[in-house]
Amino acid sequence: MLDNWRKHLFSDTEGDFEQGGEINQRTASRNNTVTIILVSALLLAAFGLYKYTRPTAPSQQESHQEPVEFGVIIEQDFVEK
C-alpha cells in the first residue's frame, strides 16, 4: 500500500516535448505540496516536543502562613557550667 502511494507521489510525469511547461508546473506543484506537508509535520513535532519538555506552571494560589517563631535558640541552662 505504501509502495503504491510512494510510486504515485514520486513518479515523474510523462508527456511529449510540447507539454513540457505543463509537466513542469505539475511537478513543481507536487514538490511544493510535499515540502509544505513535511515542514508542517516537522514544525508540529517540534512544537509538541517543546510543550512536552516545559516544566509545569506553578499554581497561582498563595498560602498565607504566619512566620514560624523559633523562640530562644540557646537556653540559659545550656550556657551555665
Domain assignment of residue 13, yes or no: no
Domain assignment of residue 45, yes or no: yes
Rounded CA separation 79/81 (Å): 6
Q: Secondary structure of 25-55 in the HEC alphabet?
A: HHHHHHHHHHHHHHHHHHHHHHHHHHHHHCC
Query: Which residue range forms the structural domain that includes residue 31?
Result: 27-53
Task: Count how many Cα atoms sit within 13 Å of the Cα of residue 23 in the half-sphere of its side chain.
Answer: 10
19-78: pLDDT as tens digits: 778 888 888 898 899 899 999 999 999 999 999 999 887 776 767 777 777 666 667 777
Domain assignment of residue 17, yes or no: no
Domain assignment of residue 63, yes or no: no
Q: What predicted TM-score, i.e. pTM, was given to this entire model? A: 0.53
Give the chain's domain count.
Answer: 1
> Angle at the Cα of 20 (from 15 to 24), degrees rounded to 5?
105
Q: Supply 29's cell numbers.
A: 506543484
Domain assignment of residue 6, yes or no: no
> At 12, is the pLDDT very low, low, confident or very high (cuts 50, 70, 90)?
low
